[in-house]
A and B are shown apart, each in its own frame.
Chain A
Amino acid sequence: MSDTAEAEVLDIPEMDPDAWADFVEAQGWTDGLPLVPPTEDAVARMMDGARGDNEPFAAITPRLLTPTLRSLAANAVMAGCRPAYFPAVLAALRAVLVADYNLHGTLATTHSCAPMIMINGPLRHALNINCGTNCFGQGWRANAAIGRALQLILNNVGGARPGIMDRSTFGSPAKYTFCFGENEEESPFDPYHVRQGFRADESVVTVISSEPNHNLNDHGSTTGRDLLTTFAGGIAAPTANTISAKGPFFIILGPEHAATIARDKWTVPQIQQFLFDTARVPITEVSPENQERYETGGNPPENGFYKVAPTPDDIHVAVAGGPGKHSAWIPSFGGTAAISIRVKPPAAG
């Protein structure tokens, strides 16, 4: 892998697609899939998608270089973004650069975390972001390209190259892309971003460093309480990074589960409190050595059980997905935070 950070524009030989794919692989620029060449024209068109955005960026760890809008746009081009996606990519980058997200720790860790990106607001429709059936999966260009662009930026400008600075034991499929929209239209609750203090008509990106979704299957329960009891059992895992209240996580309710829970008059704060109180790991499921670690780490058990989140507010609840009796648990790295940032629309022009 070469490091060519010194020049913003590179003159390289003309090459066919196969040779280009080999070239970017040799440079260490790719996630393994083919990339779109970031020609000056393509990059200029991408930058036009964020015209008027003059807010500087912080340096990106671990290389600690400050990106230019141009180098960020190059990665968005390579990822397959349309110019209209670029403001969402920039918002996601700004969010992971917030100190509480702990970018360095989440990039260098042996854990399999990746930046989860959830999008709220009207941009979901403008960009055709999948919020419904198969929203964590394949088939939607915006979901695929926005998450991929952020990963390429962290790899190329940030230098978090797998096996070198990215020391993840396994990695995860989410490291290719992990971007979806909240299914606000089928949610019985206020949209996530509104509960964070944004206006409903604002578009907002929320990030957290997380594992991919873990399924919460419940085809049998018919009440909100019973569903939440099932979820509490599913998320009380002694092997999660958040064991002993080390950090936040997301619960993504499928629309059918959300409807049942809301029908039974549960509010989001009540859901958070119930899961906080009920999802506990018995001390008998934790080895003596780990009990000692958690004790010295300042997270002792309470009445023989370990908490799975520091506070009820660290259990983030949103609604996404399509029909089916499934919800999702998205465990985090632990030492991270959910960060929400408004997407700046491009200036008129």
Chain B
Amino acid sequence: MRIVNPTFGIAPQDEGSATAGPVDWLNDPMVLFSNNKPNARELLEGVRSRLASIRRIDNIDHIAKGSASQPAPPEMINDVVRKYRIALLALGD
């Protein structure tokens, strides 16, 4: 039988892609980006501690969304893109 596909939808037009240059994992500035739940911070702090044994950490910052239930504002995303080469995200509950 012929049925209408209930999952059908039109994909967005390809908005192009950007290619980042190579990342220096030992030296490039990094941000630890939290969804603002307590355990996300916990997780990222643990990651930062472990990273200390393999790379410099004086250029690793920690930021959090204003609210776990709301998307990060575009200016925050843009700021991350501008300042850092590496972003590690944590969703913690």
Q: Which residues of A contact B (CB under 8 A)?
A: 3-5, 7-15, 27, 29, 37-40, 43, 59-60, 63-68, 70-71, 73-75, 77-78, 102, 104-105, 109-110, 152, 156-157, 159, 241, 246, 289, 293, 297, 333-335
Contact = CB atoms under 8 A, between A and B. Distances in A.
A12 B1 contact: yes
Contacts of B93: 110
A71 B5 contact: yes
Contacts of A39: 1-4
Nearest to A333: B69
A202 to B, nearest CB: 30
Contacts of B21: none
A32 to B, nearest CB: 15
Q: Which of B1, B3, B7, B38 has the most CB of A within 10 A?
A: B7
Interface residues of B, number: 20
A105 B69 contact: yes
A99 B27 CA distance: 39
A66 B3 contact: no
Given A8-B8, A59-B12, A71-B9, A335 B3 contact: no
Contacts, number: 110
Nearest to A7: B5
A277 to B, nearest CB: 25
Contacts of A29: 6-7
A37 B71 contact: no
Contacts of A75: 6
Interface of B: 1-12, 36, 38, 66-67, 69-71, 93
A165 B1 CA distance: 30
Contacts of A3: 7
A157 B38 contact: no
Contacts of B70: 102, 105, 335
Nearest to A67: B9
Q: Which of B10, B12, B38 has the most CB of A within 10 A?
A: B10
B67 A66 contact: no
A38 B69 contact: no
Contact of B7 (A4, A66, A102, A241): A4
A102 B3 contact: no
A37 B36 CA distance: 43
Given A66-B9, A67-B9, A68-B9, A73 B4 contact: yes
Contacts of A59: 9, 12
Given A59-B12, A105-B69, A334-B69, A156 B6 contact: yes
A88 B40 CA distance: 40
Nearest to B69: A335
Given A59-B9, A66-B10, A70-B8, A10 B3 contact: yes
Contacts of B4: 8-10, 38-40, 43, 70-71, 73-74, 77
A8 B11 contact: no
A107 to B, nearest CB: 12
Given A11-B2, A104-B71, A297-B67, A60 B7 contact: no
A66 B7 CA distance: 10
Contacts of A110: 93
Contact of A157 (B1, B8, B12, B69): B8
B5 A14 contact: no
